[in-house]
Each structure stands twice: as structure tokens, then as C-alpha cells.
Structure 1
């Protein structure tokens, strides 16, 4: 059983979540993440980071290249327009404190002249090299994101809240595929039993959250 990249459409028209492989930048190295507008006209972009029990807003930029950064982040990250249709997020001097899931939300104008909000990307950033246990670390990160996502005190707003629901669903599918893949080994019945119980627990939590 294989589970390639997961794509999920929030608007029912085009994929908005592209599950990417984890990145392992060296400590102290600058890291750049791209946000593609997909050939559409971007009106606004918002970068955010999900880790543990919170959603951290990193920066917000518009067509005029006016950028608003999160608290105490002006010297840590930089949001800028690319030469093509898209934006980039540059993280300076990455440390282990920068680990988490990074994604951008773009506000675009469709052919019908209406504005839509799409989630682009979903990169798991693990600075410091591949010394993490990727399977269990990714599972833990996705679980905390699914069941513990919180908004700031002043609210997320539609630009963040509803696209996060779509991203959570896509990451959930990724997690289920991963668990099913690792539960194929029938020789280790004890380990397989615990993995399936773990999967049942996850699905129960997801059902209760709706």
C-alpha cells in the first residue's frame, strides 16, 4: 500500500494542500520556503507555523508588498514577492526552536471576479538534520495539530480558520495511510494490534471533534 502526496480541495476546484517531504536545514542556515499563486492573481498572502498547541502567524503581505510581521519576528523572518507569481518566506539562522509545519494561505481572484482563500504548501521543517525519528515525530506533530489548534486571542479570521480545516483533513489522511502502511507486518501481531488500536483512537477523536 502506498500513500503518495496528499492533495485536498477546499473549494472543490483545485488542490490546495500539497504534502511535502520534511526539510532538514542545517542549524544556523537561512531557509527559504516558496508560496506559488498557481498562475492566479494573488491579492494577499499569510504565512503561519503550526507547532504543539498553537498557530503562529509569521507575516502578512499584500499586492503593494506591504508586510506585517508577528510579534518580535521582523528580524527572524522576511516575507517578499517573487519575480514570478508568488511569495517567499525566508527564515534567518534556523534553530531547533523553528521546527514545525509551515504553510501559506493566499487570497486570489478567480475568473468569476470573486476572491478565494487557498492553502498552499505544508512543509514540515526540522532544523538540525535527520536525527529525528521521522515516523513518530511526524505522527506526534500531526496529532497535536489536529486536536490542539488554537487561534490568537483576537481570532484567526476566515483567512486562517477555514483553510486550516482543510489542511487538518489532508494531514489526517496522510497519517492514516502511514499507520496502515506500518501495520502490514503480520509477523509482529502484538505491534500490529497496538497500531490498529492507536488508529481507532485517532479516528474516534476526529469523529468527536466534528
Structure 2
């Protein structure tokens, strides 16, 4: 049995731990690790909170001497806990035969005489999602650079898109000059010969 206050600590760990999401297949296995920051963690408590249920379930207790004690309804057939000692103590929990209804948050609580901060006693947990697939990243969006407008220069051959703006004003000017010249000649040709002579004489003066 776990002391009642430990259940509160377990629930708080879901908020302070950095969760790692894993996607094992249905019937597959997953190995979870819980590393002590130093060599003083002599015990670990593994637990889980299933998806859609806010009640923590105690899975197994393990100490540094590999003494194991399982919670009600759990055994070493599918849940195998052990400790590996070295420069640090690493506790592991291997779960086999994962089912769809076992999706949820899995983690551990360390017990140490020296460590007291939640960051040390509550290592990052795991969110197990059996039978699901990792989300795919959307394809990157390609951006095109805006094209600069082409400037039309009179001393160069007009580029594409500029020929129309250059040609039509020139045509208009030529037509206006032609109409003015035709009108002047027509008006001058209609004058009597004497008037044309006087008009030319005045123009010479």
C-alpha cells in the first residue's frame, strides 16, 4: 500500500513533468525509464493515469536491491520492473501486450533521503498511445518573391509589357500632327489666289 499523500504527489507530476509521447502498436511493448539524479534514490513507485480517468493506478514498487512489490491486479507477466546501479540508479519498467484501453500517462515517483525538489523526485513521464500514429507535419509553404515592375526607357527597345504604353502615345502625337497639317493645307488651298499671295507676303515680312 502507498501512503495516501503519495497519490497527491503522483497527480501533481502530470503537471510538472515533461511528457514524452510514444506510439507502440497494439500488443506491442514499451520500456519506460526513471533515472535518479544521484545515487541516493533507493525506491521508486510506478503508476499510471488512464485516458479518460483521473484516478491514479499503482503499478509496482521497486528498490535498488530489485525487490519488487506489485499493485492489485498487476504482476510480472506484463509489467517487469528492475533497477540498474552505476554512477546513477536507473529504474525501468517494461510493459508488454499493450492494449488500446491502456492509453494514458505513465510515470514514477522516486524516494530519496536527500532529494526533495519535485523536479528531482518526479522525472519526465510518458504518454502511451497504443495503436495510434504520430501526427504528420504539414508540408512547408513555398513563398514566391514579388516581381519588380519593369520601367520603360525611350533609348532602349521596350520590353514585354511596356510596348503598348510607349506605342500608343506616339501614334496619337503623329495623328494629331498629321491632322493639323492636313487642316492647314486644306484651309490654305481654299483661299483665293490673291489672299494666298498676301498671306505669303506677310509671312515673309
TM-score, scaled to structure 2: 0.50
Moved over 2 A (4+): 114-117
Structure 1 stretches of 5 or more lacking a match? 1-9, 11-15, 133-210
The answer as to whether partners of 2:64 and 2:84 remain within 8 angstroms in 1 is no
Q: How many residues are paired up?
A: 117
Alignment of 1:67-146 (within 5 A): 67-74=68-75, 75-84=77-86, 85-110=89-114, 118-130=121-133
Look up the match of 1:25. 24
What is the rounded CA distance, in whole Å, between the counterparts of 1:39 and 1:125 in structure 2?
27
What is the rounded CA distance, in whole Å, between the counterparts of 1:73 and 1:108 in structure 2?
25
Measured after TM superposition, the shift of residue 83 of structure 1 is 4.5
TM-score, scaled to structure 1: 0.49
What is the rounded CA distance, in whole Å, between the counterparts of 1:130 and 1:115 in structure 2?
35
User: Cα 1:53–1:18, aligned 2, differ >3 Å: closer, same or farther?
Assistant: closer
Look up the match of 1:60. 61
What is the rounded CA distance, in whole Å, between the counterparts of 1:81 and 1:63 in structure 2?
6
Structure 2 stretches of 5 or more lacking a match? 1-8, 10-14, 136-205
What is the rounded CA distance, in whole Å, between the counterparts of 1:42 and 1:95 in structure 2?
31
The answer as to whether partners of 1:102 and 1:121 remain within 8 angstroms in 2 is no
Alignment of 1:155-174 (within 5 A): none
Measured after TM superposition, the shift of residue 76 of structure 1 is 2.0
What is the rounded CA distance, in whole Å, between the counterparts of 2:16 and 2:92 in structure 1?
17
